[in-house]
A = this chain, B = another copy of it.
Amino acid sequence: MPLTGKEVAEHNSSKSCWVIVHGKAYDVTEFLPEHPGGTKIILKYAGKDATEEFEPIHPPDTLDKYLDQSKHLGDVDMETVKHEEKVETPEEKERQDRIARMPGLEQCYNLMDFEAVAKNVMKRTAWAYYSSGADDEITLRENHAAFHKIWFRPRILVDVEKVDFSTTMLGTKVDIPFYVTATALGKLGNPEGEVVLTRAARKHKVIQMIPTLASCSFDEIMDAAEGDQVQWMQLYVNKDRSITKKIVQHAESRGCKGLFLTVDAPQLGRREKDMRTKFTEAGSNIQSSSQTDNSQGAARAISSFIDPGLSWKDIPWFQSITKMPIILKGVQRVEDVIRAIESGVQGVVLSNHGGRQLDFARSGIEVLAEVMPVLRERGWENRIEIFVDGGVRRATDIIKALCLGAKGVGIGRPFLYAMSAYGQPGVERAMQLLKDEMEMNMRLIGCSSIDQLNPTLVDTRGLSAHYTGVPTDNLGLSVYDPLITPKEKAKL
């Protein structure tokens, strides 16, 4: 016989704390101190239905994995659970109005457009989680801005009637040289989560990288793939290597074609926009004296398992447990690319984690421009596949990266925004727009296939130094009190 709402409601304190998730009750009393997101957030739902809060930031197999079966209390008769009437805030009302007046999908002509729409229609907290970056968000913005410092030296009078921009990444043939890179918590943007991206990737024949911190479970995302669709796996390495081993070997057995070890996140970043938004949302009922942990954004809450001790010494162990190609994601200087090659890994992603980790880290594209001449001098340019992510918004950005020597680029947030605003059709249109731009711009640069892209087609003098284009110091400017000239006397 199912539990009643009333029974559950009695366990509403840290002494005895039950919560309902997807129609089932769980006793989390003992788990409270271990919860990575903190005790407080669970206690808010003690004795109540926590599904809506739980859903986007926990894969569905979370409770099975982390909560002992003895604490699974079974079904609840949801008819008996008191439904909390949600009062629609004025902000939410305005958001619903904006949703009602959303521009049509066909009005989105480029990837920025999806971001503009998503900013308007997403929940503020979800937007803040996706869009925020580290500290002053200098690197966040530099990532795209860096592409604007690279100019073209196009060839003319080349036969470009037929343009083929398909290529190969880690042995997989793809339609266009980008992949969907790993981004966390897809259900914040769309109730279905990452599988939406899987389906769109299949349509356009591009690779999806599955994130460790997905809202969907790993298997759900694999299951959403069809035919010979290829997926890669992004991995945050767990302090407990036996868990890591299980995850890696499971992925390989499921058919994953690449293991991307994240190496730029020994600790997940402080993102003040995210932190500030959460505080604002929590609103006035938080007493200023309380020692809340709300200074920790969602990312920190869900990532405490990550091993800050991961080091070069661990690489051979990974090579011993899997035959998947191993790629280091988050390499940021040429010295480490060389070391990666010497370690025998198959690839690196020049990346700063989308500007979410170390502020003032340089853009991946700038690091690429530093890396390739050194590799070419050694004759090592083909010993490894080099990917770049961060700030890619236009096909010209992709072309620039490939001219400089990248094998392909990762694109993350733009697809999240397209998904959050328009669901799968949005993601598909975003990908189609990139293909349209790609065909056009391959022609205009005078190349009919990917292998013709080369460094003489770009002028990178503006990139090779940070002589200009430091993104605006918004906080600094907002607190600076500019000098003024003499004031007139007041009007009488």
Question: Which residues of A line the B interface, CB within 8 A?
Answer: 97-98, 101-110, 112-113, 115-117, 119-120, 127, 131, 135-138, 141, 144-145, 148-161, 263-267, 269-270, 272-273, 275-276, 279-280, 284, 288, 292, 294-295, 307-312, 314-315, 328, 330-333, 335-336, 357-362, 393-394, 396, 400, 436-437, 439-441, 443-445, 456, 459, 461-462, 465-470, 472-476, 478-491
Contact = CB atoms under 8 A, between A and B. Distances in A.
A273 B153 contact: no
30 contacts: A101-B491, A102-B489, A107-B279, A109-B276, A112-B475, A112-B485, A116-B479, A144-B473, A144-B476, A149-B470, A153-B332, A154-B264, A154-B358, A155-B333, A155-B335, A156-B330, A157-B328, A158-B311, A159-B308, A159-B309, A161-B307, A267-B440, A269-B440, A280-B487, A358-B445, A359-B394, A393-B476, A461-B465, A462-B465, A468-B469
Contact of A107 (B267, B276, B443, B467): B276
B311 A264 contact: no
Nearest to A147: B360
Contacts of A476: 112, 141, 144-145, 393
Nearest to A118: B479
Contacts of A331: 156
A307 B436 CA distance: 18
A117 B394 contact: no
Nearest to A269: B440
Contact of A486 (B117, B335, B469, B482): B117
A404 B396 CA distance: 30
Given A156-B330, A443-B308, A485 B491 contact: no
A482 B488 contact: no
B462 A360 contact: no
Nearest to A110: B272
Given A104-B288, A154-B333, A467-B462, A443 B266 contact: yes
A360 B336 CA distance: 31
A470 B138 CA distance: 17
A462 B473 contact: no
A157 B393 CA distance: 29
A470 B153 CA distance: 16
Contact of A478 (B103, B485, B490): B485
Contacts of A275: 109
A393 to B, nearest CB: 8
Nearest to A138: B148
A172 to B, nearest CB: 25
Nearest to A153: B333
Nearest to A127: B481
Nearest to A314: B157
A452 to B, nearest CB: 14
Contacts of A330: 156
A154 B361 contact: yes
Nearest to A275: B109
A475 B483 contact: yes
B157 A310 contact: yes
B359 A263 contact: no
> Which of A145, A152, A275: most chain B Cβ within 10 A?
A152
A103 B486 contact: yes
A294 B393 CA distance: 22
Nearest to A98: B488
A309 B361 contact: no
A109 B20 CA distance: 34
Contacts of A310: 157, 159
A486 B478 CA distance: 11
B360 A151 contact: yes
B103 A487 contact: yes
Contacts of A485: 112-113, 115-117, 475, 478-479
Contacts of A136: 394, 483
Contacts of A97: 491
A320 to B, nearest CB: 17
A332 B152 CA distance: 9
A470 B440 contact: no
Given A149-B470, A153-B332, 6 more contacts: A103-B489, A109-B270, A117-B486, A160-B266, A161-B309, A475-B483
A157 B112 contact: no
A377 to B, nearest CB: 19
A492 to B, nearest CB: 9
Contacts of A484: 276, 474, 478
A328 B462 CA distance: 28
A98 B490 CA distance: 10
